[in-house]
Chains A and B, each alone.
Chain A
Amino acid sequence: MSTSSRSSAARGTGAAVQERRTVRLPPALPSFWRRRHLLDLDDFSAEEIGLVMETADAMKEVLGRQIARVPTLRGTTIVTLFYENSTRTRTSFELAARVLGADVVSIAASASSVQKGESLVDTVLTLQAVGADMLVMRHRYSGAPYLAARHSHLKVVNAGDGWHAHPTQALLDLYTIRSHLGDLRDRKVVIVGDITHSRVARSNMWGLTAVGARVVVCGPPTLMPVGLGGANGQERGDLAPTGPARVSVCLPPVEVDLNLDRAIEGADVVMALRLQLERQQTGLIPSIREYVRLYQVTTERLARAKPGVLVLHPGPVNEGIEIPPEVAHGTRSLIEEQVTNGVAVRMAVLYLLAGGQT
């Protein structure tokens, strides 16, 4: 085609060119992905989780390169706002954002206007006004990220809110388990420890059950949420996983077994939770020693699980309490892998939300 006819064609049909181009590009995200925020996994479908997992695979390849850096989110400003201390989650998010080429601003609440009494909503609005695009937030009160999402145009990622949810941790746990077991349908996953105060456990229960795993939770009765494992939770199985038709129920469909020796029988995966040692002061557990005796994930107990059982822990580990050192650093432990996968999974989440509906 000659130069002159080409340029006149292009000029004459500017709008059409624009339209065509988007059609011929690689397949857009599947239509079921319409998220702008990641607040919890309670309304995630297996499909949506699958998309995050596949995207994380591609991100993992990027992280394996000599120079792990891509320009995808160039020009996007991501703010990490942490009202609670954290090293691994925060570092993981910041690294993920940087690898994708985003600008990262990190704010510790202890060093900001929060100290002068600024409210959460005002802080979020200020961040929006200075040009942030995404907000990664951790707060000690359950629901705080929902407030931020409702009162601003920012895309919000929940990096842990109170006892409520820690969706990226659950996604990285799913990713880690999936990379060893493949399909999780009908796999038995045992979550052991302080379930009541664990946002990691809550998000994991939703995520694991959404992909069809059989989840058994185990721990001292004083650290087990009321109603869990009851009819309320079981009903959810036949509900539509997403969409406005979803009936709001607050408990995931899991089983409860307070006896670890029995719960661990035939398990494919055992996930130990961190025991917050200060809980003992509140009288919820009689003694650390008793907890260790009844709920530590020991080599002997793991022998009752399936051969090749996988051991996870969200960290930081109290070695010798939730799990003994030989298990934490043993061949079945995926603890280190969880941390590595965390960056890839968080990259996937940031990427998928960045292009989401505006």
Chain B
Amino acid sequence: MPYSHKLHAGNLGIDCRYCHTGVEQSAQAGVPAAEICMNCHARVRSQSPLLAKVRESYQSGRPVPWVRIHRLPDYVHFNHQAHVLAGVSCAACHGRVDQMAEVRQVAPLSMAWCLDCHRDPAPYLRPPELVTRLDWQPERDPREIGSELMAARGIRPPLQCSGCHR
């Protein structure tokens, strides 16, 4: 499926959460059901051959097999909900997806990389309502913003093993 985040999230400005509906409620952000695509594509480019698989999936209920790009080992239990509600932007891990025609992994997603932020989250936090604004630029020192958020919301990322490994 030639799906472009650049087109949908970038040019059209669709919010991440329109499709990744679980991101605020669940460990998994979720990949949208074909039904969500069809909310628009029932009318927009409704006959495009590029969308045949989506239409077929919507009709039959059989899933479109998307390729997973961001993978963590089975022994790591990452939770989207916890991060998004704490004010970690999608872009912090996934990069500027709104500029990618085809999604690629930009961050190493290694334990050391996770711990950089868990040990010192202040520079990476923003008000939670802005997490999906991938082009957001802080107007002042991001560490200052983050420190205020941490104090106000009691954000203390776990450093113990069982925070992620269980």
A and B are interacting partners:
no
Residues of A within 8 A of B (CB): none
